[in-house]
Amino acid sequence: MTETAGGKTLDVAVFGAGRIGRIHAANLARQPSVRLKYVVDVNREAAAALAAQHGAQVADVDGAMGDASIGATVICSSTDTHADLILKSAAAKKHVFCEKPVDLAIERARECADAVTRAGVVCMIGFQRRFDPTFAAVKARIDAGEIGTPEMLVVTSRDPGAPPVEYIKHSGGIFKDMLIHDFDIFRWILDDEAATVHATGSCLTDPAIAEAGDIDSTAVTIRTKRGRLCQINTTRRAAYGYDQRFEVLGSEGMLQAGNVRPTEVVAWSKRAVAIDVPEAFFLERYRAAYADEIAHFFAAVTEGKPVRTTVADGLKALELAEAATQSWREGRIVQLG
């Protein structure tokens, strides 16, 4: 923290100057009493460009972690650096915002959870979907009792196209890379934990994905400890674009969370009445969610309040991804603790 004329300012270091780092940096710039001080990236040029844009400086990991004035870190670097940077942040008593996943290995993620707890720092995991205005409204309306007791959740989560196979090889597999968001949605919306997980899948879009030992299409079923049911369907390639929907059946009604479209144009032609396809991909679809989540993080840090997506949530989602991977690989139903 730095004392300024206007009160305390929180100095922040951002790790990772890629797409998502740039989004967080821009949103961070709009928070009151928050200042981007350092940008860290192995790509010094990218770091320099982002730093220049926001009047920040380029630093390396040790420089940023060693500066006592830095009150919080925002980790948007590659997945294999997450755990290390969380542990270093905890050691340096800095609050942490970290993109999902905590780590691909559950043990390592657990280590991070322990470290931030011991250090007493805030650690928020970037499950931005919980901050999507539509998804958040559904959650609030369920909590307000609008549909009675939730009984069933159906999640449709489809990407517009698969990432390069090189990426997939190091992604931890589709369940940890892609469905981890959906597993978090499941826990958040049904407010319950998994008792059993069944996952199956296929490689239907590109044989190279199968050769890399992964699949591109999955069908997951979770039964919760309270007997509620959840089905998740995903694909790496929906020809019509990015499709992010879910619906919750409750004892007294249903709430559906739909896609967001760029415009509200309706076109009537000889053949059909047509509306826009959904927003292109996650950066567009979750634009408001990214802004809201970073505001939530800094508000929590400033006001000493708990964050909505903790490292424990990150760990639970990872356990589900692990269980689903097992279920798929071994062709069996997996019991959770």
Say if CB 215 and CB 331 are below 8 A apart: no
Cβ of residue 16: shortest distance to a copy of itself, in angstroms? 23
Q: d(Cα 169, Cα 213) in Å, to the nearest integer? A: 8
When the beta carbons of 84 and 146 are compared against a copy of itself, the nearer one is: 146
**Residue pointed to by tokens 């993080």:** 297
**Which structure tokens are listed for 124?**
């928020």
The H or E element spanning position 275 is strand 273-275
Least distance between a copy of itself and beta carbon 325 (Å): 16
- C-alpha closest to that of 87 among 108, 105, 58: 108
Q: Which among 131, 146, 141 has a CA at the least distance from the CA of 185?
A: 131
Question: Which amino acid, residue 135?
Answer: F
Q: How far is the CB of 33 from a copy of itself (least distance, A)?
A: 13
Q: How far apart are CA 298 and CA 37, in angstroms?
A: 15
Minimum distance, C-beta of residue 86 to a copy of itself, in the bound complex (Å): 32
Distance of closest approach, residue 226 Cβ to a copy of itself, in angstroms: 9
* Chain centroid, CA 52 distance in Å: 27
Minimum Å gap between C-beta 173 and a copy of itself is 17
Which residue's CB is nearer to a copy of itself, number 67 or number 206? 206
Looking at the Cβ atoms of 65 and 162, the one nearer to a copy of itself is 162
Distance CA 153, CA 192 (A): 12
Min dist. Cβ of residue 175 to a copy of itself (A): 15
Count CA within 13 A, CB hemisphere, residue 135.
27
Q: Residue 43 or 149: which CB sits closer to a copy of itself? A: 149
Place of tokens 């903790």: 310
Nearest to 1 by CA among 51, 37, 27: 37
What would the DSSP string read from start to end of 107-161? HHHHHHHHHHHHHT--EEE--GGGG-HHHHHHHHHHHTTTTSSEEEEEEEEE-SS
Judged by CB, which is closer to a copy of itself: 251, or 337?
A: 251
Selection from 175, 161, 19 nearest residue 104 by Cα: 175
CB of 3 to a copy of itself, least distance (A): 19
User: For a copy of itself, which is the closer residue by CB, 40 or 255?
Assistant: 255
Q: Tell me whether residue 15 or residue 131 sits nearer to a copy of itself (CB atom).
A: 131
Residue 134 or 171: which CB sits closer to a copy of itself?
A: 134
Token pair belonging to 93? 């008593």
Of the candidates 308, 67, 66, 64, the one whose C-alpha atom is nearest the C-alpha of residue 75 is 64
- Smallest distance from a copy of itself to CB 160, Å: 10
**Nearer CB in complex with a copy of itself: 95/129:** 129
What is the C-alpha to C-alpha distance for residues 38 and 134, in angstroms, rounded to an integer? 33
